[in-house]
Structures are given as structure tokens and as C-alpha cells.
């Protein structure tokens, strides 16, 4: 990867019932801190999502920056945003990962801040009460729970707001319901968003300070990540 090129690589890996067969291999490639974080998850499903997304992150970083997947060490920003520890003088690898039932993802760049969110479309979670927790009143006016496209509109806004919280690094500390997404990203963030199949929504924000980024998409299955 060209060190000054504003390029983003987005990696998506769907997970199905076979993911359990890869769990041990993914876990074996993580470092001690990741294994501790993995073990904090009580449910097997969450452990698999953790192991898969962190293994994918190591794999994708190594594809972009020509290093062994075991090379990478991680640190955290003040609100918990993971970053590469001691990247060295020549490259500035940045990443943001996201996991949701059925899909794990990571975005990788050299020197651009990123925020990524993937969500499984879940009709049980999509209601107006939940929307009040993340939508500005001006945004709520466009969410009609009786409309046929409510599920899609709900997750479009959810992933946008979550990507913004993650791009800034503030996470839960960002008062997303006090912000109008469209106003926040103008002149600051480049947005890439799409439906992934019929069951997932993806939103990715990349900082704009180095111009419009080139976007490269990678879809892989667990068997390819060796």
C-alpha cells in the first residue's frame, strides 16, 4: 500500500454455523490481551464474533502492510478506540472493526481516521423508543414505524450514528442524539454505506483531510483467511 495514498480497504466476512469450527484457530492467532478480552465474553456467540473479527483485523492489516498477522500490537485511545501500538516512522496503519450476528468487518487505511459499523437487521430491536436513544428530533421526524421501509431507515440511521461515534473515537461518550448526522459529516467525513445482502447494513466514515479516498472491497469466507 502506498504510504500517502488515501485508500481504504474494507473487509467483510460472513459467519454461519460453521464458524465454530474456526474458533480455535482464530483464537490461537491472538495475543494475550486479546485472549483476556475474548474470555470476558460469557456467550459462545460473542466469543466467536470477537475471535473472528480480531483474526480478520490481523489478517487484513497484514495484507495491507506486508507483515505477519502476529506482528501487530494494539493500544487504546482515551475512550477505548483501538489503534496500532508503536506503528513506526514509515507507516501509519489505522483500522476500525465491527461485529454483529452473521458478519464481521474491518476497515484499514494508512493515515486516515475511520469509523465502521455493521448491524444485523433485527426487527425486534427496531422501534421508536430505541430510536430516541440515538436520533436527533429532526431525524426522528423521518422515522415512521408504520412505514414499510422503517426497518431499513432505522438501521441506516443507527449505523451512521454508530460509525460517527466510532470515527471520532468518543464511542458512547458522543451524545449522538444531539447531533444531526448530515450536518456533522459535511467537510469532515466521507461516507460509504450499503446493504450487505438482505440481512445486514454497513456504514463507514473516513476522514476527508487527505481528499476523497479510493475504496477497495474484499469479501472473504473463513476458509480463505489462513
Ligand X SMILES: CC(C)(COP(=O)(O)OP(=O)(O)OC[C@H]1O[C@@H](n2cnc3c(N)ncnc32)[C@H](O)[C@@H]1OP(=O)(O)O)[C@@H](O)C(=O)NCCC(=O)NCCS
Of positions 47, 81, 94, 200, contacts ligand X by CB under 6 A = 81
Distance from C-alpha of 210 to C-alpha of 123, rounded to nearest angstrom: 38
Cα dihedral sign, 96-27-56-91: positive
Partners of residue 9 on adjacent β-strands:
108, 216
Q: Which x/- pattern over 177-206 shows residues binding ligand X (rule: CB under 6 A)? A: ------------------------------
Cα dihedral sign, 197-15-120-219: negative
Total residues binding ligand X (CB under 6 A): 21
Whose Cβ is closer to ligand X: residue 103's or residue 208's? 103
Residue 172 is placed in which grid cell? Answer: 458512547
Distance from C-alpha of 114 to C-alpha of 132, rounded to nearest angstrom: 25
**Position closest to ligand X via CB:** 171
The full DSSP string for 69-126 is: GGG--EEE-TTS-EEESS--SS--EEEEEEEETTEEEEEEEES--EEEEEEE--TTT-
Q: Maximum Cα–Cα distance for the chain, whole Å? A: 54
Whose Cβ is closer to ligand X: residue 83's or residue 210's? 83
Of positions 35, 79, 210, 218, contacts ligand X by CB under 6 A = 79
> Using CB under 6 A, which residues numbered 98 to 117 contact ligand X?
98-99, 117
> Using CB under 6 A, which residues numbered 148 to 177 contact ligand X?
158, 161-162, 165-166, 169, 171-172, 176
Q: Does 94 bind ligand X (CB under 6 A)?
A: no
Q: Taking the complex as a whole, how short is the minimal distance between the CB of residue 22 and ligand X, in angstroms?
A: 16
Q: Does 82 bind ligand X (CB under 6 A)?
A: yes
Instruction: Indicate left, alpha or beta for 169 from its phi (over 0: left) and psi (-120 to 50: alpha).
Output: left
Partners of residue 201 on adjacent β-strands:
119, 195
Q: Which x/- pattern over 125-144 shows residues binding ligand X (rule: CB under 6 A)? A: ---------x----------
Q: Taking the complex as a whole, how short is the minimal distance between the CB of residue 90 and ligand X, in angstroms?
A: 24
Binding site for ligand X (CB under 6 A): 50, 53, 79-82, 96-99, 117, 134, 158, 161-162, 165-166, 169, 171-172, 176
Amino acid at each position: 500500500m502506498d504510504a500517502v495514498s488515501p485508500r481504504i480497504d474494507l473487509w467483510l466476512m460472513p459467519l454461519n454455523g460453521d464458524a465454530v469450527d474456526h474458533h480455535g484457530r482464530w483464537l490461537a492467532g491472538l495475543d494475550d490481551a486479546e485472549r483476556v478480552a475474548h474470555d470476558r465474553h460469557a456467550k459462545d456467540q460473542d466469543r466467536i464474533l470477537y475471535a473472528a473479527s480480531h483474526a480478520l483485523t490481523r489478517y487484513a492489516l497484514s495484507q495491507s502492510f506486508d507483515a505477519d498477522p502476529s506482528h501487530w500490537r494494539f493500544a487504546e485511545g482515551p475512550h477505548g478506540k483501538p489503534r496500532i501500538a508503536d506503528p513506526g516512522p514509515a507507516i501509519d496503519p489505522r483500522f476500525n472493526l465491527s461485529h454483529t450476528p452473521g458478519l464481521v468487518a474491518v476497515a484499514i487505511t494508512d493515515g486516515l481516521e475511520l469509523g465502521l459499523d455493521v448491524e444485523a437487521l433485527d426487527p425486534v430491536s427496531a422501534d421508536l423508543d430505541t430510536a430516541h436513544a440515538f436520533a436527533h428530533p429532526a431525524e426522528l421526524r423521518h422515522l415512521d414505524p408504520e412505514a414499510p421501509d422503517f426497518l431499513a431507515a432505522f438501521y441506516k440511521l443507527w449505523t451512521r450514528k454508530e460509525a460517527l461515534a466510532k470515527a471520532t473515537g468518543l464511542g458512547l461518550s458522543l451524545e449522538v442524539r444531539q447531533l444531526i448526522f448530515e450536518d456533522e459529516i459535511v467537510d469532515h467525513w466521507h461516507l460509504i454505506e450499503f446493504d450487505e445482502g438482505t440481512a445486514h447494513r454497513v456504514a463507514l466514515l473516513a476522514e476527508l483531510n487527505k481528499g476523497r479516498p479510493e475504496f477497495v472491497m474484499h469479501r472473504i469466507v473463513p476458509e480463505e483467511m489462513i
